[in-house]
A and B are shown apart, each in its own frame.
Chain A
């Protein structure tokens, strides 16, 4: 019976113990829950730290505590927040390896120190002993944040994945701060706080980076705007420059160079080209009679008109030599030998028409002696390309073909176009020509058969155009409204001419 009673009382005791343990565990969980809730509410470092410290006092009666964070260089800690001190001491520095906190930071292990006062006195006594024998070697005593008369101190490393974030330190003037059984719980809470602090720190870092990024972005933007402006400026400068340059090149050559198709270096090639040469008859004589200003204007007007015509037909203007013009077809762009030749002859005919118009306008301005042109065209293989030195290049053509075109021009009639047989053979289907004499040209062993351009095959028969010195006749029958009046006008002119002769 008594054995039975004993067993019952033993079981009762055990049950009681288990209940106490359970109560304790429940309370611990409640504490963890409450503190976790509080510290995870905020992303403000100091708010997290101060909540944690005041909650620790509430649950464990920690009257004096502080949280220190590892500095960026990981060589010391800075006080982040304190609780229960006369001076808050925020920002105070603790070197790794110095004092209880410094050692805990270095070793990443919890440390409880009791009996600090006595240990300090003991150490002080030894220090004095050492100082007598060894004056220079001792470091200065270190001022550490915290209670000056602390008897016990517990410092807990705050870890995330075994990485030190900071140290949580509790001090007391009393001998013992907390039970060894609370160590695990306090350790958990310290690590929880570490996580919350780390999150907050990362958040702040992120915010700071975002700010920096924004700033950098703005700077970049303003730089870009400046850059764009500069590029625009330079581009327009280049544009102006290249426009100026373009006047010295044939448009095709200019385009080739500026589009990068044609390299600007000494290089030539042999190619079949149709070469056009024209000259103004009696121009030299005119230069002696006219004022230079008038002459310049005249020549500029003439060359501008002729250039426009050449460009219209796709010719490459090689050069102007005084009043003479050298144009070729077939480089840098060719549409085939035949097309090039037809374009060239068409251009020449167009030029004559333009000259006729010019002549009328000049006459109105009082230029008595009309200006007349002679033109020669030849098709043959020439050497084309950049000639010259490394410093000065000329895009031009050379060869017998050029000479022949020049000879043909010299032999051409007034306001006539003289072709070589080579050109004639390419254009005869489109343009009616009249066979002329064969000429001997220096450098060519055989006589060159020549042809004079008459008109396009399907040319309008309504048009009568004749130009001789002193006479410029232009009749467009389709435009004449009253034929009788026209006949009367011509008759009167004829009558007048006859009476004069």
Chain B
């Protein structure tokens, strides 16, 4: 489902948008730094702080994301469904490493911590 042409948009160079919805139907849209490529049918979001997105997803697993290719500024819309969370393994380590690198540069080692990699199934991609 995710093709090579989508890859530049998943490098985290441009911020992405993610929209979730609470159980009583109230939507919430927020900016996140990166949506991570897992495999052609999955992407991941980093879970660092408990926020509204996290709360909404726990009530309603569907979400909607917009990613941008930094070189063409082309936007893609992804329909997602929360699948599972990972607290160890290759994906978690890779995300954790980057987070730690940035956090340590700004003197926030230990405060800014990856709690989990939330893996979503990609239902559809549209331009």
Which A residues touch B11, using CB under 8 A? 114-115, 176
Kindly identify which residue among B14, B15, B33, B109 contacts A97, using a CB–CB cutoff of 8 Å. Answer: B109
* Closest A residue by C-beta to B11: A114
State whether A141 touches B109 (Cβ < 8 A).
Answer: no
Q: Taking the complex as formed, is B111 at the interface, i.e. its CB lies under 8 A from any CB of chain A?
A: yes
State whether A114 touches B33 (Cβ < 8 A).
Answer: no
Q: Taking the complex as formed, is A102 at the interface, i.e. its CB lies under 8 A from any CB of chain B?
A: yes
Q: Taking the complex as formed, is B112 at the interface, i.e. its CB lies under 8 A from any CB of chain A?
A: yes
Q: Taking the complex as formed, is B51 at the interface, i.e. its CB lies under 8 A from any CB of chain A?
A: no
Q: A99-B104, A113-B102 are in contact. List 5 more A-B contacts (CB 8 A).
A: A109-B93, A114-B12, A126-B112, A138-B111, A175-B13
Q: Taking the complex as formed, is A142 at the interface, i.e. its CB lies under 8 A from any CB of chain B?
A: yes
Which A residues touch B94, using CB under 8 A? 109
Determine how close the nearest CB of chain A comes to the CB of B93; give it in whole angstroms: 7
Interface residues of B (CB under 8 A from A): 11-15, 33-34, 70, 93-94, 97-98, 100-109, 111-112
Separation of A139 and B111 alpha carbons in the complex (Å):
10
Which A residues touch B33, using CB under 8 A? 115, 118-119, 122
* Closest B residue by C-beta to A116: B102
State whether B12 touches A120 (Cβ < 8 A).
Answer: no
State whether A123 touches B98 (Cβ < 8 A).
Answer: no
Separation of A175 and B112 alpha carbons in the complex (Å):
24
State whether A175 touches B98 (Cβ < 8 A).
Answer: no
Interface residues of A (CB under 8 A from B): 97-100, 102-104, 107, 109, 111, 113-116, 118-120, 122-124, 126-127, 130, 137-142, 144, 175-176
* Closest B residue by C-beta to A99: B105
Separation of A124 and B107 alpha carbons in the complex (Å):
9
Determine how close the nearest CB of chain B comes to the CB of A118; give it in whole angstroms: 7
Which A residues touch B112, using CB under 8 A? 123, 126
State whether A111 touches B98 (Cβ < 8 A).
Answer: yes
Determine how close the nearest CB of chain B comes to the CB of A479; give it in whole angstroms: 117
Which B residues touch A113, using CB under 8 A? 98, 101-102
Kindly identify which residue among A103, A127, A138, A140 contacts B101, using a CB–CB cutoff of 8 Å. Answer: A103
State whether B111 touches A130 (Cβ < 8 A).
Answer: yes
State whether B97 touches A109 (Cβ < 8 A).
Answer: yes
* Closest B residue by C-beta to A95: B104
* Closest A residue by C-beta to B15: A118
* Closest A residue by C-beta to B34: A115
Kindly identify which residue among B70, B98, B107, B111 contacts A142, using a CB–CB cutoff of 8 Å. Answer: B107
Which B residues touch A97, using CB under 8 A? 100, 104, 109
Given contacts A115-B11, A115-B12, A176-B11, whether A120 and B107 have CB atoms under 8 Å apart is: no
Given contacts A115-B12, A118-B15, A126-B112, whether A141 and B102 have CB atoms under 8 Å apart is: no
Determine how close the nearest CB of chain B comes to the CB of A470; give it in whole angstroms: 122
State whether B70 touches A175 (Cβ < 8 A).
Answer: yes
Separation of A119 and B111 alpha carbons in the complex (Å):
16
State whether A103 touches B107 (Cβ < 8 A).
Answer: no
State whether B93 touches A120 (Cβ < 8 A).
Answer: no
* Closest B residue by C-beta to A140: B107
Kindly identify which residue among B14, B34, B93, B105 contacts A98, using a CB–CB cutoff of 8 Å. Answer: B105
Given contacts A118-B33, A175-B70, whether A141 and B13 have CB atoms under 8 Å apart is: no
State whether A123 touches B101 (Cβ < 8 A).
Answer: no
